[in-house]
Structure 1
């Protein structure tokens, strides 16, 4: 017989990829108003729901024979998915190369390197489009060894979230969820969850969250922005097919307010992407009733944005702290 203690014994850290908890956000739910819930995807090993898709794509590549002993996984990313991909690649014996813009926050760069990954920078002004292009160049340089994992262009990204993330929400909260709010990164999470939830409740309102400065889903062009962890280079076909009901464009300021409210009132520290989801939930709930439920998916823990200062900055701060107070 399997006991609760047995379930806590895992063969490897990567085996934590699985169901994540859903928590009720009592302190930020408006009263009267709908009940807020959050699915804590940032508790996955790499801190994002993309861990699920990356694991799925790596296993598929192994089955197909493209990933084998001596192979290297290459991932274009804004940085948020790199630590998880490093964990999954290195755990299965593969080299890992993350291609990310030069503007990527230091926390993601440091974590990726500490986890055994190599970081290659693409030009800052090209943002994620430049990272994708450079990753494909690296594949072409050594196609027999390097394998591309591209979440932005692979429909399997959506498939795995329909089978897992979406089903987990239904299992915990039931079929009668009134609204789902998801930040747009590669598009896989919202596309998959939309498929799962709409299949059991066509009235569930699906809300996508994107940066106000780079509102691709709303018909705008991809532009540089400071809302890290969100934003599409283009709308992938698998997302075009998802029946999204509303798109909320969130500013950096609103996202930071959302982060602060969540941290101070609920004790949950997330990055800007999670803050944007909270900001969107607070906006969407104004049109909802007190007997309704709204669930947001929270990705990327806040500690990635608490990178250590450079040695010069550390020295300057120490000198300032040591200076006598007049």
Structure 2
């Protein structure tokens, strides 16, 4: 039986959330002050020099997906001597990089005739892909069913429900288990006439969506980047971007930022898919041991296999948590856990390359979907994670290649 859990928060949880939000606002205010004192003032918001050409109106919310800006991450650039740029995917209308994937999956399903207006789209996801699918489904007049693990941040499930999706939360299990969210979503589509299983892990529409992301990065950097760094949840982002960039300049280095508990680092470095905790063939039932969400894999997907990855770095939970706090305090960037993983990877790539290089990474989503876990001090203390955000780790663990 599917497990559908009560998502009501207790008064204590709400109070903790308010306290955490207040702390984040204070930190963001301080960060903006630091940015103000570090660089020249930009033109005041609401003024115009008359030189900027603004785009015309788009037909729907789907037309606002993509063409996101590259943000120079000043603190990391200054510390490393490299230009570290973040592709601001959290500015997509659905709030994450997964908007691109959802749009491509739905467009291809509609054009092939597999999906009709009024039909059902299903997916198993930790959250962001579901949010994007629910948004795009509503825009084209379809319905959405999302199965997700019950240890994902509660605000993601709440957002999905607000968008009109049917949400089922399930206990975390191995991908081989019939009650894994992916398998539940697949069965739901098979049992429902006119339904389509999005299949973000194996559907190469995911990879194809990010060929465009790669071309945007090339255009925005005028082809001057030396490395692209990204984690892998489904593998679609790093695969599509790597292929697009390698087609334009084969010398661009593609670096995987692999989160704690994932086995892709060993796949890239040694050609064998298992984590450093495991012996080959001794796979645990549910091997992930990380507080990050939406990043890391212990299997090879069709999307990841389509990529061209040159190197990999490991990223621990403590590094990711510290990076998120550091960027909020110093740059005013309030990021989710996978974006923090990517930024740690970008710093490690910069340390390996040396000063004078340009590194691009992906700021996958914002921190608002992570308030109950990744940005919750009480939750972090359960895992002995208390970020200092002092910048000291830039000279220490963030500089280690592995």
Q: Same fold judged by TM-score > 0.5?
A: yes
Alignment match, 1:322 = none
Return the alpha-carbon distance in structure 2 between the equivalents of residues 292 and 6 of structure 1.
31
Unaligned runs of 5+ in 2: 1-51, 267-272, 275-282, 374-402
Of residues 232-241 and 183-192 in structure 1, the stretch that sits farther from structure 2 once superposed is 232-241
Distance 1:205 1:31, change over 3 A: same
Alignment match, 1:311 = none
Alignment match, 1:58 = 106
CA contact (8 A) 2:233 2:297 kept: yes
Alignment match, 1:68 = 116
1:36 corresponds to 2:84: yes
Return the alpha-carbon distance in structure 1 between the equivalents of residues 132 and 302 of structure 2.
25
Distance 1:5 1:32, change over 3 A: closer
Distance 1:127 1:42, change over 3 A: farther
Map 1:1-326 onto structure 2 (within 5 A).
Answer: 4=53, 7=56, 9-31=57-79, 33-126=81-174, 130-142=180-192, 144-162=193-211, 164-218=212-266, 219-220=273-274, 223-224=287-288, 225-307=290-372
Q: 1:44-88, CA deviations, whole angstroms, 9 ceiling, x for partnerless residues?
A: 122222211211111111111121133111011111211111110
CA contact (8 A) 2:89 2:95 kept: yes
CA contact (8 A) 1:61 1:67 kept: yes
| Shift of residue 233, structure 1, vs aligned partner | 4.9
Figure out how many residues of one structure are paired with residues of the other and give that number.
304
CA contact (8 A) 2:92 2:99 kept: yes
Alignment match, 1:323 = none
| Shift of residue 93, structure 1, vs aligned partner | 0.8
CA contact (8 A) 1:79 1:108 kept: yes
CA contact (8 A) 2:234 2:304 kept: no
Q: 1:271-307, CA deviations, whole angstroms, 9 ceiling, x for partnerless residues?
A: 1111111111122211223221011111021011125
Distance 1:128 1:20, change over 3 A: farther
Distance 1:269 1:170, change over 3 A: same
Q: 1:167-196, CA deviations, whole angstroms, 9 ceiling, x for partnerless residues?
A: 000001022311111121111111010011
CA contact (8 A) 1:82 1:112 kept: yes
Return the alpha-carbon distance in structure 2 between the equivalents of residues 80 and 54 of structure 1.
10
SS in 1 for 2:173: helix
Distance 1:205 1:131, change over 3 A: same
Alignment match, 1:315 = none
State the TM-score, normalizing by the size of structure 2.
Answer: 0.71
Unaligned runs of 5+ in 1: 309-326
Of residues 28-37 and 194-203 in structure 1, the stretch that sits farther from structure 2 once superposed is 28-37
Q: 1:89-141, CA deviations, whole angstroms, 9 ceiling, x for partnerless residues?
A: 01111111111111111111011100111111232233797111111111222
Return the alpha-carbon distance in structure 1 between the equivalents of residues 307 and 333 of structure 2.
30
CA contact (8 A) 1:46 1:81 kept: no
Of residues 170-179 and 125-134 in structure 1, the stretch that sits farther from structure 2 once superposed is 125-134
Return the alpha-carbon distance in structure 1 between the equivalents of residues 351 and 159 of structure 2.
39
Distance 1:63 1:32, change over 3 A: closer
Distance 1:56 1:206, change over 3 A: same
Return the alpha-carbon distance in structure 1 between the equivalents of residues 204 and 361 of structure 2.
22
Distance 1:74 1:233, change over 3 A: farther
| Shift of residue 260, structure 1, vs aligned partner | 1.0
